[in-house]
Homo-oligomer: A and B are copies of this chain.
């Protein structure tokens, strides 16, 4: 399965994908795109021999145009699955329609709790004792698509976002490659009686 990754930042989830699934079990990373030319994710991609490109909003490029150019670049590389790994932009409906049911995202909360940005900050503000990570299909809402994998961690005494993120990152780095692996293996399907219920055959 030919996999593309979109990332905005340091790219540690991308690195987990490079280290754990790239070139194995039928998974090939074929493209990494970012909204930020300085994103470390692009360097990580190039270091791993994966095509990397920034698609930036600007005076001559609105969101729809940027997403169209990015989708075409990914399609040229015959992308079969698009993985959002710390990608901080909303994708246009047109982009999603180019990869129907083939875009996934990792989110640092147990969705549907705490969608959107600042999930860990939201959770701390609420005062939860259990945190977690969700990998889900992307639909047109903000973190509303069907859940593929979730993992929880009890942190009853957590007070600072940094300490929670430090515990969530290793879970993300495990869960996102695992999701790519099971999708590549054809082990992910929707429950016909409830299309929001994702069945993972193991």
* A interface residues with partner B (beta carbon < 8 Å): 110-113, 124-130, 132, 146-147, 149-152, 154, 156-157, 159, 191, 194, 196-200
Quick check: A128 and B156 within 8 Å, CB to CB? no
Docked complex Cα distance between A151 and B131 (Å): 10
What are the 3 A-B residue pairs with the smallest beta carbon separation, nearest first?
Answer: A152-B152, A129-B150, A127-B196
Residues of B within 8 A of A157 (CB): 199
* Contacting pair B112 A110 (CB below 8 A): no
Given A149-B156, A154-B150, A159-B197: A110 and B127 interface contact (C-beta under 8 Å): no
A196 to B157, CA, bound (A): 13
CB of A185 to closest CB in B, whole Å: 16
Closest B residue to A157 by beta carbon equals B199
Query: B147 near A194 (CB under 8 angstroms)?
Result: no
Instruction: Knowing that A127-B146, A127-B194 touch, tell me 10 more A-B residue pairs with CB under 8 angstroms.
Output: A110-B113, A111-B128, A112-B128, A124-B194, A128-B147, A129-B147, A129-B150, A150-B154, A150-B156, A159-B191
Q: Which residues of B contact A113 (CB under 8 A)?
A: 110, 112-113
Residues of chain B within 8 A of A194, CB atoms compared: 124-125, 127
Closest to A114 in B: B112
User: Which residues of the partner chain B approach A191 to less than 8 Å between Cβ atoms?
Assistant: 159
Tell whether, in the assembled complex, residue A127 and residue B159 are in contact, meaning their CB atoms are under 8 Å apart: no
